[in-house]
Structure 1
């Protein structure tokens, strides 16, 4: 077998290891789905009537608002995966399992690849569950088949980028306890975007921040693909942010992992 074949086989083994963890601890996936669903129900049924009236759409109520807020909840599902992945990586790094892996004849890249692919599978399942709940409470997307396929690709790319960032966070964390909090800002940033209210309703300074932070174009891209509205420049900006986050996080992760290997 070639070096690439060995690396692929080792990566498949590590992916299987992480998927087995999801099967043995289903509560991790339930928690990943639970928080976005709670936020979805809260904003639709508690705030939706009032916030939906300000959107200026045909219905101007909860039916209007569930269509508006669901893209933000979908992105929050992706960012919620950061905490679990960060903790899993930090646990492996601090409890000695990675040291044992390094004594084996396995490809070094497979250790991180297993975390990334395993978390990606978990995140995709969580997104599907959240969209299912949204459909049950009145979400009515107008995307055609092409729109859904494009949305799937964009969501996988977004999840891939943020999962690599969570791997870097886990490698940078000194303890498991500290790793549980490092990704919290990424869970909160969607609230300071166009995800829950239009940016033109915000004060000037907050509006400027909301329009130029990465989560606004990401949410607008999801919203445009789901609702069949013009994407403008949001798709290109979103792809750029995903490339920067994924590339930067991969290089950061590689540097941290190699540094730990030399100790």
Structure 2
């Protein structure tokens, strides 16, 4: 007597297998064509060096905050970490657009490959790249004098938030890559995502900004994430920022996923 595996379990296993197979392909492409990835990894590090090494003294004089005496580096490091997460969206949008415009996805459609796996592989690849990028920023910040005072649980909570934010932003970047006609357009599409941390509390407190700008900075998606990471790493108060960050992540992830799936199902104009 034979026992059949439930259909939904077979489908899930098939999707996971296809995702890992396509992920290996995407990782090989990342290694062979590293220019966009290196920009996502080292761009935030260069930004950290600029703001701390060149502008840190001037900007830090106007702040009474810091990570237990770390000075401006203690304030800006969490903001640059979030900026690193946002920067990864550019490489993802370009990679998705290239796959769509070069015809490889059309070949995938004719094969017994899970449609969700094609997109999910890009998401996982982007999250892995983001982990490397944020790790490089944290290492550079420590070398520049950043001294976080987080416990193991606080580090784990911060890492969980960064992974959740990366996952959400990546789905939005995938959708942008799917609707972009060229790789150049795809590289420009996520610029708003990359720019938003600058109009948040990444480099200066929102309370110090002019009216109008201050309200925008306080209610946009990145400020609560920045304040949560800053609080976890430096002991600053978090308030309800963690909950707000998770709500924003859920909204961005669900919206990006729905947009990506709908765009992927539509026939692409040639």
TM-score bracket, shorter-length normalisation = over 0.9
Could you tell me the TM-score, scaled by structure 2's length? 0.92
CA RMSD across the alignment: 1.9
Seen in structure 2, the aligned counterparts of structure 1 residues 183 and 103 have a Cα distance that, compared at 3 Å, is: same
List aligned pairs for 1:190-229, cutoff 5 A. Answer: 190-229=197-236
- SS at 2:150's partner residue? coil
Count of matched residue positions in the alignment of Structure 1 and Structure 2: 262
SS of residue paired to 1:197: coil
> Displacement of 1:130 after TM fit?
1.0
Residue pair 1:148, 1:225 contacting (<8 A) in 2 also: yes
* Structure 2 residue corresponding to 1:126, chosen from 112, 120, 133: 133
4+ residue stretches of structure 1 with deviation over 3 A? 57-61
C-alpha offsets along residues 54-102 of structure 1, whole Å, 9 cap, x if unaligned?
Answer: 21247999x3100100111111111111110000000011110000001
Unaligned runs of 5+ in 2: none
Q: 1:37 aligns with which of 29, 41, 45?
A: 45
Give the aligned partner of residue 153 of structure 1: 160
How big is each residue's C-alpha offset from its partner over 1:128-178, in whole Å with a ceiling of 9 and x where there is no partner?
111101100101111010100111111100100001110000011112221
> What CA distance in whole angstroms lies between the structure 2 residues aligned with 1:211 and 1:162?
19
Q: How far off is 1:23 after superposition? A: 2.1
Unaligned ranges ≥5, structure 1: none
Alignment of 1:30-69 (within 5 A): 30-57=38-65, 63-69=70-76
* TM-score normalised by the chain length of structure 1: 0.95
Separation in 2, partners of 1:160, 1:57: 30
Say whether residues 1:255 and 2:262 are aligned partners. yes
